[in-house]
Amino acid sequence: MYESARSIMSWLGDCAKVIVVKNNPVQWTTPLGLPVVQPYRKLGRHLIKTYLQVLTLQRETDKVMVKRQRTAFPPHFVHSLDGSHMVMTVVACKEAGLSFAAYSHLLHSDWAKLDKLLTKSNSLRLKHILLKLQNDYVISLKFFKWIELHNPSLLTLETNSIILHILTKNRKFVSVESILKKIIVSCSCDVNLHSKLFDAVLHSYRMCDSTPRVFDAFFKMYAQMKQLRNATYTFCRMKEYGFLPTIESCNMYMSSLLSFNRADIAIPFYNQMRRSKITINVFTLNMVMNAYVQLGKLENAVQVFDEMQCMGMNPFVSSYNTLITAYINQGLLTTAIKLKLTMEKNGISPNAITYNTIIHGFCKEGKLHDAFKVFHEMKRLNVDPNTVTYNTLITTCSQSGKIEKGNQILKK
């Protein structure tokens, strides 16, 4: 009836809105027969005057709190169903003669005996076995891989989410990324996978006493695979539930955005990071500088560079290179050389990229003599010239008619 759990939550909220219109609190009965009432009502002020002072007390009025009734109903209703479902499942498992202790013993002692149970297994049994084993991530992962090898059809989004929780809690992020990548690749034809997977992990989050890093793993993996829409969706859903990504994942996302020349998205995302109090680092600010350079806003890039130093962060050689390249591309060669001198003064040694950029700047202005001076300085400081260095000089020599000079470089 519904495409996802999110649409159901939205529908429940709409139902609550209809109920509270007539000033009625939302109430329902669980499948176990337990009545539930949401007692949220507006608070009114009541003044008590004494000889010394006037006290203001708050007490509930007859008017219900419309917003709180509406927002609280969906999660409360779903949790009441979860609790009822767990009780009913335990009873059903007991009647079916399922013994979790027997499964656990078999996992530790004799894997071969599991083959006999495989034909009678289903995703429900697999789910409960994983939940029983969740305190031992080694056995949990072995069992998961055994199922993956012998009967992968038993692995649903729900069972996958449980193993992701178990591994994340134990900080086995490499295994988490490996499983996540398999899920994403194997279900690539499902355009709604990102939504379904998020909902499945959210559903089992409390059941596994998990950590927000499991959602961060989603965000990072989508960013790493350059699935930017899915990464953006995951970030928005994380914010919705109060989860924040790590700075490493944010940097990965920004890097992917810049690789697609989407600086127009990277800058607003950075601003959102700052509003969310996510601690940034030099890598973050380097990418922000690159984003502003992509947008042609060199002044903003310089401002970020200055802010970096004000924050107590030491710029990397790549930080300087970003501005040096931007200056030269805008014909500000003198400013670029001044920044290189500042860089050296601050104890940062220029690398091949720095020298190549400045050599390119001189060649661009037809100053071949100055370009060779930088080239000789580069060699004197034991910075190895590379293909870019030689190609730039040879091309410029060729264009300026100094073929012999170009041949000398070519022989070297």
CB atoms within 10 A of CB 38: 21
CA 381 from chain center: how many Å?
Answer: 41
Say yes or no to pLDDT of 4 above 50.
yes
Q: Tell me: the pLDDT tens digits for 356-393?
A: 999 999 888 888 888 889 888 998 999 888 888 888 88
The 3-state DSSP class for residue 4 equals: coil
Q: What is the separation of C-alpha 269 from the centre of its chain, rounded to a whole number of angstroms?
A: 12
Q: Is the pLDDT of residue 287 over 90?
A: yes
pLDDT, position 148: 86
Both structure tokens of 17 = 């809105």
The pLDDT value given to residue 5: 66
The whole-angstrom separation of Cα 394 and Cα 402 is: 9
Could you write out the three-class secondary structure of 284-350?
A: HHHHHHHHHHHCCCHHHHHHHHHHHHHCCCCCCHHHHHHHHHHHHHCCCHHHHHHHHHHHHHCCCCC
Question: Rounded to 5 degrees, what angle do the CA atoms 239, 244, 248 make?
Answer: 135
Tell me if the pTM is above 0.75. Answer: no
Could you report the per-residue pLDDT of 143-168, keeping only the tens digit for each?
889 888 888 888 888 899 999 999 99
Residue ranges per domain, the chain? 1-97, 121-244, 246-302, 316-412
Q: Please tell me which residue, 100 or 9, carries the higher pLDDT value.
A: 9
Residues β-bridged to residue 56: 47
Please state which CATH class domain 316-412 belongs to.
mainly alpha
Q: Which helix (H) or strand (E) holds 351?
A: none
Cβ atoms of 82 and 13 closer than 8 Å: no
The mean predicted confidence, pLDDT, of the chain is 84
Mean pLDDT, range 67-72, rounded to an integer? 82
pLDDT-derived band at 7, boundaries 50, 70, 90: confident
Confidence of residue 2 (pLDDT cuts 50, 70, 90): very low
